Amino acid sequence: MTQCTSSLDDTRAVARLTSKYQATVPRQVRRALGLGRGDVVLFEIRGGVVTLRKAAPLDLEYLKAVEGTLSEWLSDRDEDAWREL
């Protein structure tokens, strides 16, 4: 299920999560963000508001840089603990 309402200044969209917690990004949102297949998106949460945006190359470089610091969460035990979230 996807519903969208939009104007030049405002776009709202609704999508349903699958059993694997996946959602299709509605066409209007893809167009507004210039998203294409294989693009990476970034979710930002601030004050209870989630923002979705296309990840910039700088974002990807930052994530690659911090990836090495997250090795403490790479065990099979951690995977089992977080799998259902």
What is the count of structural domains for the chain? Answer: 1
**CA angle in degrees (0–180, nearest 5) for 66-71-76:** 140
Whole-angstrom Cα distance, residue 18 to residue 43?
18
Across the strands, what pairs with 51? 44
pLDDT (0 to 100) of residue 9: 57
* CATH (domain of 6): 2.10.260.10
The pLDDT assigned to 78 comes to 78
| pLDDT tens column, 8-62 | 457 789 999 999 999 999 999 999 999 999 898 988 899 999 999 998 888 777 7
